[in-house]
A and B are shown apart, each in its own frame.
Chain A
Amino acid sequence: MASPLTTIKPTAKEAPPRDGQSKPREAIFQLDNVTVSYGDKPAVHDVTFDIARNEITALIGPSGCGKSTLIRCLNRMNDLISSARVEGTVAFHGQDLYSSEVDAVEVRKRIGMVFQKPNPFPKSIYDNIAFGPRVLGVKGDMDEIVERALRHAAVWDEVKDRLKTNAFGMSGGQQQRLCIARCLAVEPDVILMDEPCSALDPISTGKIEDLMIDLKRDYSIVIVTHNMQQAARVSDKTAFFTVTPDDRVGTLVEFDDTETVFTNPTDPRTEAYVTGKVG
């Protein structure tokens, strides 16, 4: 599989800093006038911003603002929906993810995803982790790969004595950390998280938030969340989306450092949302 993606080193391209961004870091994703439509109806319209490396970028906004649609563009999960269409450019390390020579399967090897509801496979804990490396043909000590991934996702101590038991026997929070571990086992560059804590209790949520902060040393993380406190707690950058009232299309309102978005937003719509007046 001679995809261009496999030849790009993470440091291959320095992104030019954009105007209006306080701390220019290397951009891992550059979105340029991105519009995603289902059939004829756009779900999110004309989005332009950069996602930086080794940071946590939060996408927030009310239901229907297109944040989940947008995050699914970043690893081409939208390809699975036949009516979905992406316009504009989504560049990953400078490579347009939607250009014809890019293979979606290669993209997903590099850009992992954790879903809203924990979705372990109906297999043992061990096989859940080993599945990714196996399908990618990774050679090496599988026991070690599994242990490393589970340790990295802070779930090893809880499951080390029952690796061969079915993953469905774990609690919801453990299942979600298993899904994160499963994602880490294929060593992606980026982890996309689509409301990873919305099905979890506060204690499990706290563990996952700690884990995210831990993981950003090695990974870039993009998280969609409904929980504004969560965005404020964990993210470095925040993108606020809203739905235009007339045509029900999602748009990017504001993108900045999380602190700025929450304490000193420039757009009144952002202020109304983060202070809880609407939404």
Chain B
Amino acid sequence: MKASRTQAAKDLAFRLALLACLAIAIGLLVLLLVDVALDGTGTLTWDFVNNFTSISADKAGIQAGLWGTIWLMGVCAFFIVPVGVATAIYLEEYADPTKWWNRLIELNIQNLAAVPSIVYGILGLAFLVRGPLHLGNVVLAGGLTLGLLVLPMVIIAGREALRAVPSSIREGSMALGATQWQTIWRQVLPAAVPGIATGVILALSRAIGETAPLIVVGAVAVIAFNPEGLDSQFTAMPIQIFDWISRASNDINDYRPLAAAGILLLMILLLAMNSVAIWLRNRYEQKW
């Protein structure tokens, strides 16, 4: 009897230790959110969303950053969806895994997903902004750089979605005289769309908060216009937030509430995107 009581006590202690660790993680997140919300909610008004940034803090807003981010995400999505899905289809449906080069590609895509984002920034600077493509520090270069950064995520998510389609569907289609391409295009891909879409949204929500690579490719911090095309200069929400944080605040101009409001807006966008991803997964995912 005694032994079992010590066992029970150990069990309880272990459970409490686990809960304490969980509490640290959750607690810090809550602390951060509450702190940001206290600083930012007063500033997060329609004017804040609608104004450009300004030297005087009470007139400054995030419009250029918001539209810059929207443009970047658009370019990024246009790039990662076709390239990512095509790569996933090749690796999952065509590549022979017994060949060493296919295994090498696969290994490298896993590695690419773990490369620090600043490295992608340098890549973008060297090859897109300057170098062979010489696009300049414009929306197109920024969006493509973010696209390169999250492309491995899309490929990995796409492969998982394709793998989830049972091989009996492929066999059933091929047995009717459909070609491999008809099978992929009309059966496998439509069944994998919810999973792929979820992966794309999660990749975009990773890209939306990236700051370092955008600084490297030359996003402009103080800008009072929205992008008008792919060849416009741009800023983005994280860049704008970073700029406000790094400015010296004084009694007349306090930039800290602006940064907090910017963070809140970014968080709202991010949570909205993740909610859509979760909803998509639950609503449309095929149960086999």
Count residues of chain A with CB under 8 A from any CB of chain B. 25
Of the listed stretches A111-119, A232-240, A260-268, chain B binds: A111-119
B182 proximity list for chain A (CB < 8 A)? 135
Contact of B173 among A75, A106, A109, A131 (CB under 8 A): A131
Closest to A120 in B: B172
B56 proximity list for chain A (CB < 8 A)? none
| Distance between Cα atoms of A75 and B172 in the complex (Å) | 12
B178 within 8 A of A: yes
Could you give, for residues 192-226 of chain B, a 1 whenever the CB lies within 8 Å of some chain A CB and a 0 otherwise? Answer: 00000000000000000000000000000000000
Let me know if A108 and B172 touch, CB within 8 A.
no
If A80-B171, A115-B171 touch, whether A122 touches B286 (CB-CB below 8 Å) is: yes
Let me know if A121 and B174 touch, CB within 8 A.
no
A8 within 8 A of B: no
Find the residue from A110, A115, A122, A182 having the highest chain B CB count within 10 A. Answer: A122
B186 proximity list for chain A (CB < 8 A)? 131, 135
Closest to A168 in B: B287
Chain A proximity of B196: nearest CB distance (Å):
15
B98 proximity list for chain A (CB < 8 A)? 82
Let me know if B176 and A122 touch, CB within 8 A.
no
B50 within 8 A of A: no
Could you give, for residues 115-159 of chain A, a 1 whenever the CB lies within 8 Å of some chain B CB and a 0 otherwise? Answer: 101011110000000011001100000000000000000000000
Chain A proximity of B35: nearest CB distance (Å):
47
Let me know if B191 and A119 touch, CB within 8 A.
no
A120 proximity list for chain B (CB < 8 A)? 172
| Distance between Cα atoms of A131 and B172 in the complex (Å) | 11
B177 within 8 A of A: yes
Let me know if B176 and A119 touch, CB within 8 A.
no
B28 within 8 A of A: no
A44 within 8 A of B: no
A115 proximity list for chain B (CB < 8 A)? 168, 171-172, 175
A77 proximity list for chain B (CB < 8 A)? 171, 174-175
B176 proximity list for chain A (CB < 8 A)? 108-109, 112, 131-132, 135-136, 182-183, 186
B96 proximity list for chain A (CB < 8 A)? 82
A179 within 8 A of B: yes
| Distance between Cα atoms of A132 and B187 in the complex (Å) | 11
| Distance between Cα atoms of A112 and B171 in the complex (Å) | 11
Closest to B96 in A: A82
B179 within 8 A of A: yes
Could you give, for residues 167-206 of chain A, a 1 whenever the CB lies within 8 Å of some chain B CB and a 0 otherwise? Answer: 0000000000001001100100000000000000000000
Could you give, for residues 156-186 of chain B, a 1 whenever the CB lies within 8 Å of some chain A CB and a 0 otherwise? Answer: 0000000000101111111111110010001
Contact of A132 among B169, B170, B177, B191 (CB under 8 A): B177
| Distance between Cα atoms of A231 and B172 in the complex (Å) | 24
Closest to B98 in A: A82
Chain B proximity of A119: nearest CB distance (Å):
4
A272 within 8 A of B: no
| Distance between Cα atoms of A136 and B187 in the complex (Å) | 15
Let me know if A113 and B175 touch, CB within 8 A.
yes
Closest to A166 in B: B286
If A115-B168, A119-B168, A135-B182 touch, whether A183 touches B175 (CB-CB below 8 Å) is: yes
A113 proximity list for chain B (CB < 8 A)? 171, 175
Chain A proximity of B70: nearest CB distance (Å):
34
B175 proximity list for chain A (CB < 8 A)? 75, 77, 108, 112-113, 115, 183
B173 proximity list for chain A (CB < 8 A)? 121, 131, 135
Closest to A105 in B: B179
Closest to A106 in B: B177
Chain B proximity of A111: nearest CB distance (Å):
9
Closest to A128 in B: B172
Let me know if B168 and A105 touch, CB within 8 A.
no
| Distance between Cα atoms of A109 and B172 in the complex (Å) | 12
A105 proximity list for chain B (CB < 8 A)? 177-179
Q: What are 12 A-B pairs at a CB distance below 8 A?
A: A82-B96, A105-B177, A105-B179, A106-B177, A115-B171, A120-B172, A122-B169, A131-B176, A131-B187, A135-B178, A136-B176, A182-B176
- B residues touching A (Cβ–Cβ < 8 Å)? 96, 98, 166, 168-179, 182, 186-187, 191, 286
- A residues touching B (Cβ–Cβ < 8 Å)? 75, 77, 80, 82, 105-106, 108-110, 112-113, 115, 117, 119-122, 131-132, 135-136, 179, 182-183, 186
Other CB < 8 Å A-B pairs besides A119-B166, A122-B191, 16 of them?
Answer: A75-B175, A77-B175, A80-B171, A105-B179, A109-B176, A109-B177, A110-B177, A112-B176, A115-B171, A121-B172, A121-B173, A131-B187, A132-B176, A132-B177, A136-B176, A136-B177
